[in-house]
Amino acid sequence: MDVAAASIVMSQSKLQQEVGVQMMSKAKEQMAVQSEGLQKLMESAEVPQHPNLGQQLDVKA
């Protein structure tokens, strides 16, 4: 392989790596936004609280 061909291969490899990193970065950002939305949704959900919930334990032998 001559120098020009090796240079082209290295350049293509570097470009492919950079594209992969950018795609992972975009995916990470999107997941962060989605998790933030899910967290807000969970915090806004109203869970009815029963006053006696968790006060008794039924055990059968």
For the CA atoms of 25, 27, 32, 38, what is the dihedral angle to 10 degrees?
Answer: 180
pLDDT digit string (tens) for 2-56? 888 999 999 999 999 999 999 999 999 999 999 999 999 988 887 777 888 778 8
Q: How many alpha carbons lie under 13 Å from residue 57 in its C-beta half-sphere?
A: 2
